[in-house]
Amino acid sequence: MHPVLNISAYLFTRISDREQLRPVLRERAEAAQLKGTILLAEEGINMFLAGEADALRGYLDALRTEPRFAALTAKESWSAEQPFRKMLVKLKREIIRMDHPTIRPIDERAPAVAPRTLKRWLDQGHDDDGREVVMLDTRNAFEVDYGTFEGAVDWRIERFTHFPEAASTHRDALEGKTVVSFCTGGIRCEKAAIHLREDGIDALQLDGGILGYFEDVGGDHFTGECFVFDEREALAPDLTPRDDAVATSDSR
């Protein structure tokens, strides 16, 4: 097994003391010899960290002792080397920028579909009510090019702030169908599903995003790899980094 644990985690939760929390989280991370990025906004926290497994899990456990972070869950994967160069804690207006202030997952989440339920729907070709399932990729176009669900709708957006306009343009094509919005780890598709539901579309978010699907189901109905924002570049459905997949293929 590779020695470096990688986690991605986010939680929409009220944070009114971002400035005071920032140095605390950074000092704890540096003491644990972790590297990566933590984003703090009034709407929540978004984390991409890597380090020694016990130290990283201990860091998350300590964070969860605070009631506002108790529900934080993390998706795990492994790498042979540390994929981050620094430890950064940044203050942001949003933990994922959408520029749409009425979308507030902190107040109410959109309904989610579990990976195994989604796989069953895709296997049978419809949801449990017999309706067509539309997989909607909410990521940027260059990420989609690494891999996506078979037959997924891709609006070729360049950044997530373009999503609301694209959704308005393509709304009629989604009406009357069960739309499952998905992204890398769940954060973008959570906001996307709320936006679509506000516009009258029956939208769900894929719980845990693509990485959660890989972890729970594997690569069924998915083609290619999942782009990740670190030096690993992309993960295969077995959550191994792109370089490992290439090495395995070359050795056959």
With bands split at pLDDT 50, 70 and 90, how would you rate the model's confidence at 104? Answer: confident
Burial class (CB in 10 A: 0-12, 13-18, 19+), 11: buried
**What is the number of structural domains in the chain?**
2
Among the candidates 41, 57, 91, a domain finishes at 91
For residues 173 and 77, membership in a common domain is answered with no
pLDDT (mean) for 128-157 = 98
| Whether residue 219 is found in the same domain as residue 126 | yes
Q: Which residues are catalytic?
A: 183
Tokens for 143, please give them.
């990420």
Residue 8 clears pLDDT 90, i.e. is over it: yes
- Averaged over 31-47, what is the pLDDT? 97
Q: Residue 244 — very low, low, confident or very high, per pLDDT cuts 50/70/90?
A: low
The pLDDT, as a whole number, for residue 108 is: 81
Q: Is the pLDDT of residue 159 over 90?
A: yes
pLDDT at 82: 95
Q: Quick one: pLDDT band at residue 101, thresholds 50, 70, 90?
A: confident
Task: Please check the confidence at residue 245 and state whether its pLDDT lies above 50.
Answer: no
For residue 29, the model assigns a pLDDT of 98
Alpha helices in 92-236 (DSSP H): 115-124, 141-144, 163-169, 171-174, 187-198, 209-216
Q: Based on the fold, state whether residues 119 and 64 are members of the same structural domain.
A: no
pLDDT reading at 80 higher than 80:
yes
- pLDDT tens, position by position, 143-157: 999 999 999 999 999
Considering the domain architecture, whether residues 128 and 237 belong to the same structural domain is answered as yes
Whether the CB-CB separation of 183 and 192 falls below 8 Å is answered with yes
129 and 204 share one domain? yes
Q: Tell how strand 4-12 and strand 74-79 pair up.
A: antiparallel
Decide if 106 is inside a domain: no
Claim to verify: residue 130 and residue 244 sit in the same structural domain: yes
Residue 119 lies in a domain: yes
Please indicate, yes or no, if residue 105 is contained in any of the structural domains: no
Looking at the domain assignment, is residue 97 inside a domain? Answer: no
Assess whether 26 and 123 both reside in one domain: no
User: What is the rounded average pLDDT of the residues 2-17?
Assistant: 94
Q: What is the CA radius of gyration of the chain?
A: 18
Q: What is the mean pLDDT of residues 70-91?
A: 95
pTM: 0.88
Alpha carbon 94 to its chain centroid, in Å, reads 15
Domain of 45, CATH number, reads: 3.30.70.100
User: Is residue 75 located within the same domain as residue 117?
Assistant: no
Residue 40 has pLDDT above 80, yes or no: yes
Same domain, 140 and 240: yes
pLDDT for residue 158: 97
166 lies in the same domain as 80:
no
- Domain-ending residue, one of 91, 123, 157: 91
141 and 203 housed in the same domain: yes
Task: Name the residue range of residue 47's domain.
Answer: 4-91
Residue 249 predicted with pLDDT over 60: no
Q: Does 145 share its domain with 241?
A: yes
